[in-house]
């Protein structure tokens, strides 16, 4: 088992304390959205790039982006709420002097600020998020309340990496509404530290892990990414933008988005899986089949 890199974690704690990013100051909330602004880069709009998208009016396309970004922010905020539940559970077994205890408190503080920031952004966009269904709620709560810590940290990492990819794509697209770009920038900076920590934490389990453990981590990662992707492309959204056959649009968008998602969102996750030896004869075909990953 490797020793925990105390110095590196102390540094992360220091940055969090000395350079706090407060959404109230960092995000220019007073700036209204311009007529030409996008709410979500087209790379992430489920239907963009498909012939059906061309049939939508410009107003419908913009609305699709608005509803989908609301759904994305809500889903990440909701997952962060789950992660906070787990961090609290984990803290109860640590001593207050532990570096891990002190880092997790910083992470909790930042995650609560993120959740507040996302809900403010949703309010600003006049969004109406669709709440998670029974399956998402059941498996999400079961995971954070009862599963072993390394399994949950692996799940948290998968979700954080996805949030980070979305943040990166949003902040880099100058056509996106500036409030959302700043929200993404803040989230990207702080999630970078959380991801760093989670990877360090997991090293004691991933180094020297055998075939079974690597396989299980890979499946957990895959399931979490799938879980996030399925919170997002929704029939209700197509009903709201007023298309004639919303169920057909949703099905098409779902199939189309699978491939776009694989193209734009999986690089980091694949790289991490390669690092920990998560691809083998069993997991590789599943990543190809379920996530359309080119592995």
Residue 292, sorted as left (phi over 0), alpha (psi -120 to 50) or beta, turns out to be left
Helix residue ranges, H only, the chain:
6-18, 23-26, 51-54, 58-91, 99-124, 134-146, 149-172, 178-206, 211-229, 235-240, 246-265, 267-275, 283-291
User: Cβ closer to Fe ion: 42 or 100?
Assistant: 100
Pick the closer one to Fe ion by CB: 180 or 241.
Answer: 180
What count of Cα atoms within 13 Å lies in the side-chain half-sphere of residue 44? 29
> Which region among 89-97, 130-138, 194-202, 212-220 touches Fe ion (by CB under 5 A)?
194-202
Q: At 77, is the secondary structure helix, strand, or coil?
A: helix
Q: How far apart (Å, rounded) are the C-alpha atoms in residues 81 and 159?
A: 12
Beta carbon of residue 12, minimum distance to Fe ion (angstroms, whole number): 12
Contacting residue, 66, 67, 113, 114, with Fe ion by CB under 5 A: 114
Sign of CA dihedral 208, 212, 214, 217: negative
Does residue 194 belong to the site contacting Fe ion (CB under 5 A)? yes
User: Which residue's CB is nearer to Fe ion, number 161 or number 233?
Assistant: 161
Q: x/- string (CB under 5 A) for Fe ion, residues 149-188?
A: -----------x----------------------------
Query: CB of 283: closest distance to Fe ion in angstroms?
Result: 25
Nearer CB in complex with Fe ion: 37/110: 110
Residues near 58 by beta carbon (within 8 Å), at least 6 away in sequence: none
Q: Is 66 in the site for Fe ion (CB under 5 A)?
A: no
Residues 68-87, one symbol each (x = binds Fe ion by CB under 5 A, - = not), give: ------------x-------
Number of residues that bind Fe ion (CB under 5 A): 5
Binding residues for Fe ion, per CB under 5 A? Answer: 80, 114, 160, 191, 194
């Amino acid at each position: 088992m490797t020793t925990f890199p105390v110095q590196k974690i102390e540094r992360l704690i220091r940055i969090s304390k000395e350079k706090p990013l407060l959404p109230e100051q960092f995000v220019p909330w007073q700036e209204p959205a311009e007529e030409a602004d996008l709410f979500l880069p087209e790379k992430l709009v489920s239907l963009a790039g498909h012939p059906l998208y061309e049939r939508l009016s410009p107003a419908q396309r913009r609305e699709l982006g608005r509803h989908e970004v609301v759904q994305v922010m809500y889903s990440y905020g909701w997952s962060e709420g789950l992660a906070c539940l787990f961090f609290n559970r984990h803290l109860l077994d640590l001593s207050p002097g532990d570096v891990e205890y002190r880092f997790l408190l910083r992470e909790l503080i930042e995650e609560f600020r993120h959740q507040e920031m996302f809900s403010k952004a949703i309010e600003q966009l006049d969004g109406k998020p669709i709440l998670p269904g029974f399956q998402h709620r059941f498996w999400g709560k079961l995971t954070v309340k009862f599963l072993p810590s390394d399994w949950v940290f692996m799940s948290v990492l998968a979700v954080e990496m996805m949030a980070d990819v979305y943040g990166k794509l949003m902040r880099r697209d100058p056509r996106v509404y500036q409030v959302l770009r700043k929200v993404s920038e803040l989230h990207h900076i702080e999630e970078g530290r959380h991801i760093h920590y989670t990877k360090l934490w997991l090293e004691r389990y991933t180094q020297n892990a055998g075939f079974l453990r690597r396989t299980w981590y890979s499946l957990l990662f895959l399931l979490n990414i799938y879980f996030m992707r399925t919170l997002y492309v929704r029939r209700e959204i197509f009903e709201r933008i007023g298309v004639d056959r919303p169920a057909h649009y949703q099905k098409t968008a779902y199939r189309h988005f699978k491939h776009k998602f694989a193209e734009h969102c999986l690089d980091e996750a694949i790289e991490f899986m390669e690092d920990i030896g998560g691809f083998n004869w069993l997991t590789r075909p599943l990543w190809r089949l379920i996530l359309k990953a080119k592995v």
